[in-house]
C-alpha cells in the first residue's frame, strides 16, 4: 500500500521537486526511482533520518506499531533526531491502533 501511495505523492508533486525515500529493502527504492524517471527526482537515502534532514514534509508508512516505534522515538538515529524545520509537516500513515500512537 505504501508503494502506491508514494507513487501518487510523487506524481502530484511539482516535477522540479525532490522526493527523498528510504526503505529497509533497497531494491524497492531502486525500482521506485526507476519507475518515477521522467516524472520527477527521487533520491534514495540510507536512513529515515537522512530523508527527514532534507524534507519539509514527511510521510511515513510502515507495516506495524513496532516499526513506528523504531522510526520515531530513537533520539540518535531516527526521525526525531533530524534537523528541526519549524514549518515541517509530519503525516504518519501506518495502519496501527490509536493506543499505540498515543504511547508514542
Work out the burial of residue 10: count CB atoms within 10 Å of its CB; fewer than 13 is exposed, 13-18 middle, 19 or more buried.
Answer: buried
Q: Are 44 and 21 in contact (CB under 8 A)?
A: yes
CATH number, residue 82:
3.40.50.720
Number of domains the chain is built from: 1
DSSP letter (8 states) at residue 64: S
Q: Which residue has the cell 498515543?
A: 102
11: its cell numbers: 506524481
Structural domain span for residue 42? 1-102
Q: What is the pLDDT of residue 29?
A: 94
pLDDT in tens, the chain (104 residues): 589 989 999 999 999 999 999 888 899 999 999 999 999 999 999 888 888 888 888 888 877 787 777 776 666 656 665 667 778 777 878 888 888 777 76
Amino acid at each position: 500500500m505504501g508503494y502506491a501511495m508514494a507513487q501518487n505523492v510523487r506524481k502530484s508533486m511539482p516535477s522540479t521537486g525532490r522526493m527523498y525515500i528510504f526503505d529497509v529493502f533497497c531494491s524497492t527504492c531502486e525500482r521506485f526511482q526507476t519507475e518515477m524517471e521522467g516524472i520527477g527526482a527521487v533520491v534514495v537515502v540510507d536512513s529515515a533520518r537522512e530523508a527527514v534532514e532534507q524534507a519539509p514534509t514527511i510521510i511515513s508508512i510502515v507495516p506495524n506499531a513496532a516499526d513506528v516505534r523504531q522510526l520515531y522515538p530513537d533520539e540518535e538515529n531516527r526521525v526525531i533526531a533530524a534537523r528541526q524545520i519549524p514549518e515541517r509537516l509530519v503525516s504518519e500513515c501506518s495502519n496501527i491502533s490509536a493506543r499505540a500512537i498515543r504511547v508514542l
